[in-house]
A and B are shown apart, each in its own frame.
Chain A
């Protein structure tokens, strides 16, 4: 997505493929690592919620509400990883287009 977006936004030659290769690897690594923690956490929370409902069927409404609230918090931690990848993407595109533009002027 990094390389294709650069082709969308600046049609000059891509001067330094190492930067693009590095940013692609970093994107994959960041998203992968960012999914581990919240995945484990959400699984544990859902398991405990199901056990709670099994123990006491009257409290199902409250347990479901608390479960959804906790899942939203943990989901945000993975989304922080996605924000880092998107910011990295935009920074690479901006810096590379700027460098190409400056080199074209010279």
Chain B
């Protein structure tokens, strides 16, 4: 019987290559399917499978997946139309829906024990959030032309303070994109690190002696509570990501 040993609580975040190709394509570049790629494919299959089951062979009578799908659709559509209160609000609904579903399903797949959380990697969340920042800038320029730069000058500032204020507003604009990615990635990463470290300590407590086994049930109950908190954070962070993206799109469409 093989005995697998996790050496450190940070080993859950390692990206390992599962299947690789070593060929003279792109100059011996390392083309491989990594474990994070596998979990992205798994999230994709969960979302598509859910939608296929919810379509219910095109019957009119809904099964429970169908009702869930319609309720999810309506919730996100309401969120998008409330946040982006403009005639163009509905254009961005498919994007926000896909973003919300990917982050939500990714967070929930990561909560399964011995699994891998794709949203805990800052490289993924920062890539998405910086892309959203660039996209919002392009939306602003395409909508307002060069008047988009009036976004950086708040209303009613004296003319002498304008250069300093534009600099501060520019830095705050870039920080918006950075904070969106870091908020999601760091929350999920911190939650997973916390549960694994506490789990390691609880194992050492409970493996010591029968008395310590009984005493160790108290921190175990605490760990169950922390896992429940992590599930709530998984859902809330997905919601916050989607609603902040809507808010940035609205800021750039309306210029305050």
Contact = CB atoms under 8 A, between A and B. Distances in A.
A5 B243 contact: no
Contacts, number: 37
B187 A76 contact: yes
- Report whether over half of chain B's contact residues are helix, strand or loop; otherwise say mixed: helix
A80 interface: yes
Interface residues of A, number: 15
Interface string B180-193: 00110011011000
Interface residues of B, number: 17
Contacts of B197: 1
A12 interface: no
Contacts of B7: 8
B107 interface: no
Interface in A1-34: 1, 5, 8
B182 A72 contact: no
A83 interface: yes
- Report whether over half of chain A's contact residues are helix, strand or loop; otherwise say mixed: helix
Contact of B187 (A5, A68, A75): A75
Interface of A: 1, 5, 8, 68-69, 71-73, 75-76, 79-80, 82-83, 86
27 contacts: A1-B197, A5-B8, A5-B10, A8-B7, A8-B8, A68-B236, A69-B236, A69-B239, A69-B240, A69-B243, A71-B236, A72-B183, A72-B236, A72-B237, A72-B239, A72-B240, A73-B240, A75-B187, A75-B233, A76-B179, A76-B182, A76-B183, A76-B187, A79-B183, A80-B182, A82-B190, A83-B186
